[in-house]
Structure 1
C-alpha cells in the first residue's frame, strides 16, 4: 500500500505506533478474524508446502504480480497485510532499506565493526555470535513494528581489486574465508530451530560483482568477462558455501552482466546453479531495479514484458523495485510467460514468510515473540561489539617493540589526525544508528591525558594549514597517536578509489609529526581497503602501525585497549596490501585471477599474485610469540573413488581426479597442532593453514584451507585439532571449470612449518577426460 493512499489521520496513527515500538498486529491469519482463521493456509499444523499451495490457489493474477516486488501489496480480502522485504543487517540492524526505521522505543541498534574488520579476526564462532545478536535485535524491532524479517545481508563478494569502494562490506579476498564467514554469520542470523527462521538472510551479489564506478565504467553497464575456471574457483565459492553450509534463505543476483548475460536473467546461474545444483531452499531476489537496469540500461531485451519474462523464467522470485509488478501481467497476456511461472516464484517467497512465522497469527505467541526494546543495545550486545573490534584490529608494525604503551611513561598523548575523533565514520557503510560511539580520542582519554589536534580538516587533507598545531602537540607529548586513513567520502558504494596512497597531504602530515614527536609515534589507520603505507613501514621514526578497518561503535575503546596492552592483538589481514605500482596500469575491468607474464598481467590476490606487497594476506603481529609444532598428521591419504567409477569410467587428467568421481563425504586430512606461547604475555593466536598443491598451471601458488583461533597463556601450550576436507579445500579447478583433486604431494603450511601430504588415488583408470 502506498503511503500517499493513506489518510492523514491513519498515517499519523501508523507513525505513532511505529515510533512507540508497540507490538504489531499479526501480518496474516489473525485469530480474531473469523473470515480467515479457518482457511487452510492459516493452519499451523499443516505442512508449509500445503499452506503455500492453498494460498496461491486463492490469489488472482493481479494479486500475484503485486507480490513479486519488495514492496509487496496487501491482500485485504485474505487478511494479508503489505510487506516491505528490503531490510539490511550487514553488521547490525540498518535503516538503509525501507523495511527498518529507528525511533521511539528503538532509537538505535548495536553497530558492530564493518565486515572487513570482523573478518580479520578469523573467528567463526564470533561471526555466528554477532549474527545471533543482530537477529535478536531485528526480531525485537519487528515485534515493535519498526523492522522486517528479511535481511539482504551478508555481502560475500570477493575483494578482487583493492580499489573497490564496497570491499569494506566483504570478508576479504579469499573465497574460503568469505564462504566460511557467510555460513557462520547466516547461521547466527537465521537460528537453528529446524525449518523455522529467526530472520531470513540473503547472500549477495551473485556473481562476479566487484566494480562500482571506475574510469567511466559503472556497475550498471559492466559486462564481467569471466572464465569458467575463475567462476568455479573463486567467484562462486562463497555463494555455494553460503547455500550449502549456511542454508541461507535467499541469494541476490547482481547488476552486472557475466559474459554478456545479466545475472538476473541468467537461467544457468539462477535456476540451474543456485537452485538446481546447490539446492537453495528459499528465494532469489534482484539487486534493486536490476530487471529495469537490464532492460533500460543494458538493452538486453526489446520490451519490458520480455525482460519480466526472462527474469522470472531464469529463476528470479522477487524484484527489489516495481518492474515485475508493472510488466508481468502483460507478459502473461502476450504469451511470454505462463501464470504457473509466477506461481513457482511465489512458492519460494511465501515459503520463506511462512518459515518466519508470518502466517502463524499473533507474533507475541511465537518463539521470538518476547524480544523487545530491552534486547536492543543491551550491555552484553555492546560488549560483543567491543570484543569484535578488539579481535579485528591488526598490528602491522611494532619496532622495538614500542607497543604496548606504558601507563607510567606515556601519560600525555598527542592524538592527531582527521579520524582521531571519528564517530559515525567508524561504522562504515550499510550501517544503522549506533547505540553510542567511543571515538579514538575518547578511548585513549580513558588511559591518559590527551592533547588533541586534527591536523587536517577531513580525510581529503587538501592543505597543510593545520599542520603547525599538530606538530607542536607531538613535541609536547610522551607519545603521539596519528589516526589517519579513509572514510565513505573516499571509498563507498558507487565510489571506487583512484589509487592506494593516503589521500591529499596525509602522508606529509604523518612524516612531519613523526619527525617532531618527542616520544614514539604510532600510526592508526581506518579504512576498508588496503593503503600503500610503504613510507611509514620503512620510516624508523614511526614505531608502530595498527589497522582498525572501520571498527564499529566501540572502535575507539578497542584501539585504546590494544595501544595500552589491555588487549593483545591477534587480527590478520583478510586482504593483500599492494604498493601503488600494482594498480597503476591494471584495469579494474580485467576479471582474470591468474597472472599472465606474456601479457604483463600480475594476477590478483595472494593466491595468484607473486609480486611485491606492502603487507601480505594473513599478516598480523602480536605482543607475544607463538611457535607451532605439527604433532600428528598423515603423510599419505588415499582418495577413494566412486564405486561406479572404477576402471575405465574413472576420469584422471594430468593426475587430477574429478571431485565428482571421488567419495568425498568423510574424506579429510586431520592435523594435531601444538601452539606454544613463548612470550611473556597471554595472547589469542590466529592460526592460518595454507596448502600448496602439486605443480600445475591450474593451481594457485597457495590457498587457505583452514584457520583456527586459540587462546594461549604466556609460557603454556595448547593443542589444536584441524580438519581439512579434501574435496572442498585441497581441490583445484581446471581451465574448463571442472574441480579436481591433484594426485601427488600437497604441502601444508602454518607460518614457517611445513608438512607434506601425498594424495593417492585408490585406482587410476584411463588417463583421459
Structure 2
C-alpha cells in the first residue's frame, strides 16, 4: 500500500510540475502578476519581472552578469529537477516559474526573410497589425546566382535587423533555423529553391556569409572565447546530411536510407556544413530525417558528437528536424526501439534539442530506466543556454533595443531585395542583342503567361508576409503600355483555351514577354519532380505566341530547378531567355529593370540545366555522384556529368563582353618532405603517367605554408557597364581515377565600367583547393600537372605540384 501511495504521489507531483512548466511565461507575453497583466519584457533577468513573479533576482546566480557564462549556466541547470530539465529540451522550452526561467520557442525561420512558419499552435515569429509584414528577399537559389559574397552577407544583416526589431515587439524569437545548405545532387529535388545549388564550395561559401550576416555583431565578430561571443541572432545550418530526396515516386524522406560512400560524404554532402561551422561559426546544426547507411542521421554519434562538436568544434547546439526522433521509431523501425531507447540514443549521439515532444515526454523516463545519464541532459541544456546567454535572452542587448517597427520593411531593405533580385537574374539567350529593350522603340508590350502577374509564387516557401508585391505586370507597366493575357490559368496549364487570346495580344504589340515556369505545385518540400519539362500546354503557348508575335519575343522563366527549354533556346522566333528564379517580393521590378536595360544582368546558373532525358538515365534514389558504369548511370552535377546539357553550371550572359588576361601567377609548388611524410598511392587509368610520389596526406602537410596566388585582369570590351563573375576552376592531373572533371575553387564578382578594367586577386590554399578525397576517405594532395581554368575556358594555365624528399 505504501508503495502504491508513493507511486500515486509521484505521478501527481509530476503532473503538477509539468502543468506549471507548460504554463510558464514567455518573454513576449509575460503576465505573471495580476497587477501587471500587460507588462512585457525582452530579457529574463529583469528585477521587476522577478518581483512580478514574487521572487528576488538577487537570489539567483544565473542572473549575475558579473559571473562567467559557465558559472551562470551551471547555476541555472543545477536548480532544476529532472522533470523540469526535460521540459526545456524540446522546441517549446516550457520554462520554470519557481526559479524565474521564462519559456522559449526555439523554432523560427529566416531562409530569405522573417517567416511565420513554425509550430502551428505557438509560432515564435508571427505577423499582425503591430508587425504586418517583413522584407521577402529572393529565394536562396536566385540569390546564389549573383555569386556575390558581400550581397549574401548584407541580406543576412538586413534579415537579422528585422528579426531583432520584431523580437523587441514580441513578434519573433532569437533562434532561426536557416539556412538550408544541402547540395542539389539531383535536378528533380523539390527543395532546390531553398538551397545555394549543386556545388559544395558555393553552398558552403553562401552558408558562411549568410550566417555571418545573421549572427555577427559589428566590432565583435571574433572573441578569445567563441562560446561567449555575443550574437545578433542565432542561425542554423540544415539538414545534416545526405538529404535530397523528399517524395519521389513513393520514396519519402522519413523512410529513405541514403547509401553513401565515405568519399561522397566528405567531398560533397558534409563539406558545406564543415564550412558553415568553421568559417561561419554557426551556432546550430540541424540533423535530417533520413538514415545514412542504415543509421538515422539524428542518432549517429560519428556524425554529431564526433564530427560536428568534436572535429569541427561547434559553438552551439544540435537540433533535430521536426519529429525526427519519432520518425526513428515509427518510420525507420530502427532497432525496434521504444521511445525511451530512441531518446537515449539521440542524446548520447549528441542531439541537444528535439524539435518535437519525444525528449520532453520520454527523456526523464529514459534516465529512470538507466538508459541514459542525467548528465547527458545537463550537457544539452548547457549547449542551449550558452546560446541564449550569448543572444542577450537573459541580460538584454542594448545595441539592438532601439530597433522597432520602422526597421522592418524599411526602404533600404526593400531596395536591397530589389538589387538582390536584379543580381540573381541569369540571361540565357540574347540573339543579335535583342535585349535590352529600347523604350524609344518599344511603346507597347504584350505580357502573357502563367507567371505574368505572379505575386505569391515569386517568394517561394519558408516565406512570411512580404512588405508588398511588385509583379512582372506591375514592373513592366512602368516602362511601356502593357496588354496582359494569361495564356494559362496557372502553371499546370491543363488546357489551351487561353492560348489564342495571348496570340492576339502578341500580334499587336511592339514586343512580347512570356513569363512561364513552375511553382510550389511542381517543386516543393515533400514534392520532388518526375520530369524536367514545362507543365501542360506551356510549351505550346510559347511556340504559338512566338510564331505570330509582331515584335521580338522574350521568355522569362520562374523556377528553382532547371527546365528543359531547349525548344525555346533553338527557336529562332524566341529572341531572348531570362531566368528569374523565385525573385522575391520585388521580382517584377527586377525583371523589368533587366529587360529594359536599367540593370545589366551578370548572374550565373548555380545548377546544371539538364535535358529532359536525364531523368530516364537513373533513379533519383541512386546516391553516388560519380557515374555507375555497371548500371549505366551518368555522373551527377557539373563535377561528374560529361553529357550534353540545356545550359551548364555557371552559365550566364551579359549585355557587354569581357576579356581576361593573367597578370601574375605562381605556376608551381615545390614541397619538401621529411622522413615522416609518406607517399600515398592513387589509382590511374591505363596508360597515364604515374608520378614517383602520387600524393601526400594533407594532414601530414603544413597546409598554411602551401599557398598559391593568381591575379587576373578583367577588361570590359563592350559599350555597357557591367558586373562579371570571375569563376576559378581546378582540373586535377590527368589520369587519376574518379577525380572530378573540374571543380570550382574560387569566385569573385567585380564591376567593370565600359572600356575599363579591374584586377582580381585569388589566394588559394593548395591542400583545400587542389586536394582530392579518395575512395578510402583520405584527403590527399596529388602531385603532377594541375590546371587552373578561369571562366568558361576563357583562360587556363598549368600548376605543377612537386614533392621532394629531404633526408
Give the TM-score range, shorter chain: over 0.9
Deviates more, 1:43-52 or 1:388-397: 43-52
Q: Which moved more, 1:746-755 or 1:169-178?
A: 746-755
Structure 2 residue aligned with 1:326 = 361
Structure 2 distance, partners of 1:6, 1:323, is 19
Cα deviation per residue 1:96-134 (whole Å; 9 max; x = unaligned)? 122110112211101000000000000001000000000
| Structure 2 unaligned residues grouped into runs of 5+ | 1-17, 32-37, 224-228, 683-693
Paired position in structure 1 for 2:194: 169
Q: Describe the superposition over 1:395-436 as per-residue Cα deviations: whole angstroms up to 9, x where unpaired.
A: 000001110001111110000001000011101111111000
Q: Quote the offset at 1:764 in angstroms.
A: 7.7
2:556 paired residue number: 524
Partner residue, 2:685: none
The residue number in structure 2 matching 1:298 is: 332
Alignment of 1:267-282 (within 5 A): 267-282=301-316
Name the structure 1 match of 2:680.
Answer: 652
Other-structure match for 1:142: 167
Question: How far did residue 515 of structure 1 move?
Answer: 0.2
Q: Which residue among 659, 662, 667 is the counterpart of 2:701?
A: 662
CA contact (8 A) 1:29 1:37 kept: no
CA distance in 2, matches of 1:222, 1:77: 44
Using a 3 Å threshold, how does the CA distance of structure 1 residues 260 and 439 change in structure 2: closer, same or farther? same
Structure-2 change in CA distance of 1:215 and 1:53 (3 Å): same
Q: Is the counterpart of residue 288 in structure 1 residue 322 in structure 2? A: yes
- Alignment partner, residue 413 of structure 2: 381
CA distance in 1, matches of 2:377, 2:148: 41
Aligned equivalents of 2:364 and 2:283: distance in 1? 27
Asked if 1:624 corresponds to 2:656, the answer is yes
Cα distance in 1 for partners of 2:19, 2:510 equals 61
Aligned to 2:3: none
Map residues 127-276 of structure 1 onto 2, 5 A cutoff.
127-192=152-217, 193=220, 194=223, 195-276=229-310
In the TM superposition, structure 1's runs of 4+ consecutive aligned residues that sit over 4 Å from their partners are 1-7, 10-15
Q: Is the 8 A contact 1:455 1:469 kept in 2?
A: yes
Q: Which residue of 2 aligns with 1:358?
A: 393
Q: Does 1:759 align with 2:775?
A: no
> Structure 1 residues 748, 2: closer, same or farther in 2, change over 3 A?
farther
Correspondence list, 1:539-550, <5 A: 539-550=571-582
State the distance in 2 between where 1:309 and 1:258 align: 19
Q: Distance in 2 between matches of 1:349 and 1:180?
A: 26
- Out of 103, 126, 134, which is 1:82 matched to? 103
Q: Measure the CA separation in 2 of the matches of 1:418 and 1:3.
A: 53
Shift of 1:31: 2.2
**1:599 counterpart (631, 636, 660):** 631
Q: CA deviation at 1:26?
A: 3.8
- Counterpart CA distance in 2 for 1:182 and 1:39 is 38
Q: CA 1:304–1:5 in structure 2 vs 1: closer, same or farther (change >3 Å)?
A: closer
- 1:18 aligned residue: none
Match of 1:743 in 2: 783
Post-superposition Cα deviations, 1:528-577, rounded to whole Å, max 9, x if no partner, equal 11000010010010000000000001000000000001100000000100
* Secondary structure of the structure 2 residue equivalent to 1:400: helix
TM-score (norm 1): 0.95
Give the aligned partner of residue 719 of structure 2. Answer: 680
Contact 1:443/1:559, CA 8 A, preserved across alignment: yes
2:496 to 422, 443, 464: 464
Call closer, same or farther: CA 1:80–1:648 in 2, change over 3 Å: closer
- The 1:651/1:395 distance shift into structure 2, 3 A limit, reads same
Match of 1:62 in 2: 83
SS at match of 1:165: coil
Change (3 A) 1:88 1:710: same
Figure out how many residues of one structure are paired with residues of the other and give that number. Answer: 751
Query: 1:375: Cα distance to partner?
Result: 0.6
CA separation in 1, counterparts of 2:785 and 2:415? 45
Q: Any conservation in 2 of the 1:24–1:144 contact (CA below 8 Å)?
A: no
Do 1:135 and 1:198's aligned partners in 2 also have CA atoms closer than 8 Å?
Answer: yes
Per the alignment, in what secondary structure is the counterpart of residue 151 of structure 2? Answer: helix
Q: Relative to 1, partners in 2 of residues 1:423 and 1:764: Cα closer, same or farther, differing over 3 Å?
A: farther
1:355-385 C-alpha deviation (Å, 9 max, x unpaired): 101111xx4x622111111111000010000
Report how far residue 686 of structure 1 moved: 0.8
Any gaps of 5 or more consecutive residues in structure 1? 16-21
Q: What is the Cα deviation at residue 639 of structure 1?
A: 3.7
Q: Distance in 1 between matches of 2:350 and 2:672?
A: 36
1:31 is aligned to 47
Q: Structure 1 621/69 Cα, relative in aligned 2: closer, same or farther at 3 Å?
A: same
SS in 1 for 2:760: strand
| 1:341 counterpart residue number | 376
Aligned to 2:10: none
2:4 aligns with none
Q: Residue in 2 aligned with 1:717? A: 757
Task: State the alpha-carbon separation in 2 of the partners of residues 648 and 281 from structure 1.
Answer: 34
1:253 deviates by: 0.2
Please name the residue that 2:538 is paired with.
506
Counterpart CA distance in 2 for 1:216 and 1:235 is 23
Partner of 2:435: 403
1:640, 1:662 within 8 Å by CA — same for their partners in 2?
no
Which stretch shows the higher mean deviation, 654-663 or 318-327? 654-663
335-344 vs 656-665, which moves further: 656-665
Measured at CA, do residues 169 and 392 of structure 1 come closer, stay the same or move farther in structure 2, by a change above 3 Å? same
- Please give the alpha-carbon distance, in whole angstroms, between the structure 2 residues aligned to 1:4 and 1:564: 59
Cα distance change, pair 12–204 in 1 and its aligned pair in 2 (3 A): closer
Contact in 2 for aligned 1:204/1:254 (Cα 8 Å):
yes
Per the TM alignment, residue 599 of structure 1 is displaced from its structure 2 partner at its CA by: 2.4
**Among 475, 484, 509, the residue aligned to 1:443:** 475
Q: 2:529 aligns to what?
A: 497
Say if 1:27 and 1:80, in contact at 8 Å, map to a contact too: no
SS in 2 for 1:572: coil
Q: CA deviation at 1:651?
A: 4.2
Which residue does the alignment assign to 1:431? 463
Whether the 8 Å contact between 1:705 and 1:729 is mirrored in structure 2 is yes
Shift of 1:3: 13
CA 1:522/1:466 → structure 2, altered by over 3 Å: closer, same or farther? same
Q: What residue is the counterpart of 2:34 in the other structure?
A: none
Q: Normalising to structure 2: TM-score of the pair?
A: 0.91
2:349 aligns with 314
1:110 correspondence with 2:135: yes
Shift of 1:78: 1.3
**Secondary structure of 2:787's aligned partner:** strand
Deviation at 1:155, TM superposition (A): 0.3
- Once the 2 structures are TM-superposed, how far is the Cα of residue 56 of structure 1 from its aligned partner? 1.0
Whole-Å Cα distance in 2 between the matches of residues 681 and 265 of structure 1? Answer: 55
**Per the alignment, in what secondary structure is the counterpart of residue 645 of structure 2?**
coil
Distance 2:415 2:207 in 1: 23
Backbone CA RMSD of aligned residues: 2.0
Per-residue deviation at 1:698? 3.7
- Report the CA distance between 1:305 and its aligned residue: 0.4
- Shift of residue 28, structure 1, vs aligned partner: 1.7
Q: Aligned partners of 1:158 and 1:511: how far apart in 2?
A: 34
The answer to whether the Cα contact below 8 Å between 1:23 and 1:143 also exists between their aligned partners in 2 is no
Equivalent-residue separation in structure 2 for 1:123 and 1:517 (angstroms): 37
